[in-house]
């Protein structure tokens, strides 16, 4: 299978990485693509978002990082057809320090995904809110990076640092890495600040900004506590519609690039 691996990264917390990873994965799975969601955040929000609230057993990405387990033994099906998850638990915090002394420490995720990647059309990696080892591993394993951004006053702050990190990874670890796009999340059409921030981002990044914007929608914030993606929780909501549109635009862009 021709597999495409996408990292959802932004070192800012609360910008919609996990919400986008979950719901873009759900939409692509709903369109019949085989999708793996990789939870690369010790908070485990992507795992609980698909209904895995108890990941205290050792079938998780941390066991893969330590070599105790193979990815194939830790990938679990979800309630949704075509959607699988490699879950995370809080142990994953340890990776940041444990890897420091090890060889090829940036390439661990890439290596552990290699035996399973063929089984999926898309692998989406939900990154933690930092530019540490877990994010570096994700960027090294990925073909492209999708950057969710909230349209708030300090949205651009920190973006330069992220772009610089992407450049560094591209230079030394993953030559082929490219920016899939920037995605405006929690968009509020009635807010003038939203418009001015959005146009500033568009001025800087042009076509790299997705045409689809994700509006603020309470159903999107409710669904994870039910362990459901928006497709399961409320398929008619504006949030579900927005993520379906994102899925369409994502596939169109991917096709245009191929
Ligand atoms: P990150 O993974 O970048 O930290 P999250 O996806 O967890 O961000 O989003 C942060 C919070 O905002 C969560 O409580 C989430 O449910 C909520 N949220 C995300 N996107 C939306 C949206 N479009 N509308 C309403 N709430 C949202
Ligand atoms: Mg998150």
Of all helices (H) and strands (E), which one includes residue 103? Answer: none
Answer yes or no: is pLDDT of 55 > 70.
Answer: no
> Please, which contacts does 53-61 make with residues 24 or more away whose CB atoms are closer than 8 Å?
53/227, 55/87, 55/88, 55/89, 56/89, 59/87, 60/86, 60/87, 60/88, 60/89, 60/91, 60/92, 61/86, 61/87, 61/88, 61/92
Tens digit of each residue's pLDDT (9 = 90 or more) over 213-234: 999 999 999 999 999 999 999 9
Flag whether the pTM goes above 0.95.
Answer: yes
Q: 148 alpha carbon to ligand 2 midpoint, in Å?
A: 11
* Residue 156 pLDDT grade (very low, low, confident, very high; cuts 50, 70, 90): confident
> Average pLDDT for residues 154-179, to the nearest whole number?
93
**Residue to mutate (ligand 1; options 39, 194, 221, 242; most atoms within 8 A of CB):** 221
* Whole-number average pLDDT of the chain: 94
Tens digit of each residue's pLDDT (9 = 90 or more) over 8-21: 999 999 999 999 99
> Average pLDDT for residues 22-47, to the nearest whole number?
98
Walk me through the domains of the chain, giving residue ranges and CATH numbers.
Answer: 4-257 (3.40.50.300)
Structural tokens at position 214:
């994700």
Q: 131 alpha carbon to ligand 2 midpoint, in Å?
A: 13
Tens digit of each residue's pLDDT (9 = 90 or more) over 79-132: 999 999 999 999 999 998 998 888 899 999 999 999 999 999 999 999 999 999
Does residue 13 line the site of ligand 1, with CB under 6 A?
A: yes
Answer yes or no: is pLDDT of 151 > 90.
Answer: no
Angle of helix 17-30 relative to helix 238-257, nearest 10 degrees, comes to 70
On whether ipTM exceeds 0.90, the answer is: yes
Answer yes or no: is pLDDT of 257 > 90.
Answer: no
**Residue to mutate (ligand 1; options 7, 13, 14; most atoms within 8 A of CB):** 14
* Residue 5 pLDDT grade (very low, low, confident, very high; cuts 50, 70, 90): very high
Q: Please give the number of the atom of ligand 1 that sits closest to the Cα of 186.
A: 23
How far does CA 148 lie from the centroid of its chain?
Answer: 9
Question: What is the DSSP annotation of 125-175?
Answer: EE--SSSSHHHHHHHHH-SEEEEEEE-STTTTTTHHHHHHHHHHHHHHT-T
> Average pLDDT for residues 175-190, to the nearest whole number?
94
What is the biggest distance separating any 2 CA atoms in the chain, rounded to whole angstroms? 52
> Average pLDDT for residues 197-202, to the nearest whole number?
89
Does residue 15 line the site of ligand 1, with CB under 6 A?
A: yes
Cβ within 8 Å of residue 125, ≥6 positions away: 5, 6, 7, 8, 21, 38, 40, 109, 138, 141, 142
Q: 79 alpha carbon to ligand 2 midpoint, in Å?
A: 21
Residue nearest to atom 13 of ligand 1 (CA): 221
């Amino acid at each position: 299978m021709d597999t495409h691996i996408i990292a959802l990264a932004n070192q800012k917390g609360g910008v919609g990485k996990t919400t986008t990873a979950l719901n873009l994965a759900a939409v692509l799975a709903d369109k019949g693509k085989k999708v793996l969601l990789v939870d690369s955040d010790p908070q485990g929000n992507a795992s609980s978002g698909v209904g895995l609230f108890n990941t205290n057993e050792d079938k998780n990405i941390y066991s893969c990082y330590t070599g105790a387990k193979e990815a194939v033994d830790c990938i679990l099906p979800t309630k949704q057809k075509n959607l699988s998850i490699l879950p995370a638990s809080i142990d994953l915090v340890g990776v940041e320090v444990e890897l420091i002394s090890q060889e090829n420490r940036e390439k661990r995720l890439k290596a552990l995904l290699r035996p399973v990647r063929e089984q999926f059309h898309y692998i989406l990696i939900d990154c933690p809110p930092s530019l540490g080892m877990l994010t570096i591993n994700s960027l090294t394993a990925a073909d492209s990076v999708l950057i969710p951004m909230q349209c708030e006053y300090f949205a651009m702050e920190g973006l330069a640092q992220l772009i610089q990190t992407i450049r560094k990874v591209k230079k030394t670890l993953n030559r082929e890495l490219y920016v899939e796009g920037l995605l405006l999340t929690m968009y509020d059409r009635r807010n003038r600040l939203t418009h001015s921030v959005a146009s500033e981002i568009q001025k800087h990044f042009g076509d790299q900004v997705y045409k689809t914007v994700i509006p603020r929608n309470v159903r999107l914030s409710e669904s994870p506590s039910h362990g459901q993606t928006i497709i399961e929780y409320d398929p008619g909501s504006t949030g579900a519609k927005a993520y379906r549109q994102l899925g369409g635009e994502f596939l169109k862009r991917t096709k245009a690039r191929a």
